[in-house]
Structure 1
């Protein structure tokens, strides 16, 4: 908008063509109407100030005439004041327009996180390919969550609940971070297993590469074929050795046993299937299981273990009852 034209409109000095152009501009946006009303109000305020100044000016004109017989032609400041007012209004118009434009601008966009949650069920594990081509094998009931807006763009961060195996695609400038209830695991490109939720004890087992683990009172690097066990209630972490088979057991869908007695066998069943195991009676012989069994379903696994260890079983929705033979 031509600011001089806006002043002419306010002073009712515009031609019909100028009035038509002004009308089109006024109706084109709400902000234009707001600007016009604000500037018009400011202009009339200035007009009132000019009127007061003129009264004083006229009095100053009379005073010399009363003091001297010689007429003095007073400088005509009225038109100067008029032009000054117009200039002031133009400045005000610019300020007002800038203010209204600023106010009319939409607020800085706030990107709402678009959280993606992937959940395995109680009956089925799940393999997930992430946007960066990293692969996750989720154990029963496990879940991961990440922000679709930022993952593999500004970062590679996700939240894990439960147990999972990660095969991370290398990306030097984008560390891959897994947050659990108690630990923050950071890698660049490696494969590792995380177990959470078993009495709050958390385990990180590395298959390949190096993993950095950070938590309360702990900051450690875990190397290939090492397992870190973290006890959050006392803030203590223990790093020990592991095997590749143990590290990749979830990915390979294998239950691994090594000289497991009845107690450790039932603990692994309980942890693997998220069901309480209740042993009814005592084993009458020593149990020492070594080997692996493919998870083709809970009944097939229990049938195989029952044959090896000597027990029968019954299942309910939440429990497994084992009866030693």
Structure 2
């Protein structure tokens, strides 16, 4: 008997011709009937009592087929014993796979994104809070998140305040990097094709990537290139680490091209530098109350002149600005 036909028969998926084949097969020997009994019991064990009524109904059909007149069988060839055993194993495995497939909860993917015009504060199912920066996204499986582990995928920049749970590590995956924590607060800047920056505000985290496995404590920071594996480590200020949470745009020894690049990322605008500026660097922070107030702040603090068109920002240094 073809094991696929038995499989379909047990799950009531067979057609009329296949049912006739199984009935004839049952009438051939008592061993055949024992095989089917074992398979049906295996199915019932897997399903438990969830569908007991349907199982009882099907069992009555099986018994009816078994109780039909059975012709005498003169000989049972030894090879058939091996074939029957193989069929039992094969179909049992098929039943087990189908049961697991049918009873495995489907994933419930959740993706939260921001644009160049908005940020977002997210509370995850475990109580962890995430401050998602401009042009960033956070993904997780809502069904699996609160079971054995807590895992999210970040593309962009965010500040995390992780709700402590010693038996359920919290993991953040970025481009080729994984950050593991139990309960802490930290920031991640991980945009594609850029140097990643990870810093700890409180607690302790572990960062893993190719050729990288490092623990970070409060005020410690790393900058990591996932392509070249270059690594820089230093200490930084709490204000810089919590900037995303506190709605600040932070600059650290940034020249005009670097300022332009950050503004372009944050606000999803084309930023053009007018002229050839002399070398200048700016360190400081500006409260993020929108593009216009930010540019006004930079104009005052860093000597940056600006012009805003429909979708472009033009930057230049004031003529009388000194380094």
- With structure 1 as the length reference, what TM-score do the two structures score? 0.68
Cα offset, 1:274, TM superposition: 4.0
Tell me if structure 2 keeps the 8 A contact 1:124–1:140: yes
Q: 1:300 to 1:220 in 2, by over 3 A?
A: same
Q: Give the conservation status (yes or no) of the 8 Å contact 1:35–1:100.
A: no
CA 1:42–1:233: 2 relative to 1, 3 Å: closer
**Which entry has the higher C-alpha Rg, 1 or 2?**
1
User: How do residues 1-325 of structure 1 correspond to structure 2 at under 5 angstroms?
Assistant: 38-39=22-23, 41-43=25-27, 45=28, 89=30, 92-100=32-40, 102=43, 107-108=99-100, 109-197=103-191, 199-257=193-251, 260-283=254-277, 289-308=282-301, 309-317=303-311, 319-325=312-318
Q: CA deviation at 1:125?
A: 0.3
Kept after mapping to 1: 8 A contact 2:186/2:241: yes
Shift of 1:276: 3.8
TM-score by length of 2: 0.68
Equivalents in 1 of 2:268, 2:199: separation in Å? Answer: 20
Report if the CA contact (8 A) 1:282-1:324 is conserved: no
CA distance in 2, matches of 1:175, 1:42: 54
Gaps of 5+ in 1: 1-28, 46-87
User: Which protein, 1 or 2, shows the higher relative CO under an 8 Å CA cutoff with sep ≥ 6?
Assistant: 2
> Could you tell me whether the CA contact under 8 Å between 1:205 and 1:247 is conserved in 2?
yes
Q: Distance in 1 between matches of 2:13 and 2:174?
A: 51
The answer to which of 192-201 and 242-251 deviates more is: 192-201
CA–CA distance in 2 between the matches of 1:251 and 1:243? 14
How far has the Cα of 1:42 moved from its partner?
Answer: 4.1
Q: Residues 41 and 280 of structure 1: is their aligned pair in 2 closer, same or farther, counting only changes over 3 Å?
A: closer
Question: 1: distance between equivalents of 2:182 and 2:307?
Answer: 45
CA shift at 1:238, angstroms?
1.3
CA–CA separation in structure 2 for the residues paired with 1:261 and 1:100: 74
Q: CA deviation at 1:97?
A: 3.1
In structure 2, the residue corresponding to 1:118 is in which secondary structure? Answer: strand
1:231–1:291 CA distance, 2 compared to 1 (3 A): closer
In 2, distance between residues paired with 1:179 and 1:212? 12
Residue pair 2:25, 2:32 contacting (<8 A) in 1 also: no
Tell me, in whole angstroms, the C-alpha distance in 2 between the residues paired with 1:128 and 1:261. Answer: 33
In structure 1, distance between residues paired with 2:38 and 2:19: 9
User: How far is 1:176 from its partner?
Assistant: 0.5
Distance 1:167 1:223, change over 3 A: same
Deviation at 1:313, TM superposition (A): 1.6
**C-alpha distance in structure 2 between counterparts of 1:30 and 1:227, whole Å:** 60
> 2:304, 2:315 within 8 Å by CA — same for their partners in 1?
no
Structure 1 segments of 4 or more deviating over 6 A? 33-37
C-alpha distance in structure 2 between counterparts of 1:117 and 1:310, whole Å: 37
Determine the C-alpha separation between the residues in 2 that align with 1:271 and 1:121.
10
What is the alpha-carbon distance in structure 2 between the residues aligned to residue 30 and residue 272 of structure 1?
Answer: 56
SS at match of 1:207: strand
Instruction: Kindly state the Cα deviation for residue 260 of structure 1 after the two structures are TM-superposed.
Output: 4.6
* Count, aligned residues: 250
Deviation at 1:247, TM superposition (A): 0.1
**Counterpart contact for 1:193–1:206, Cα < 8 Å:** yes
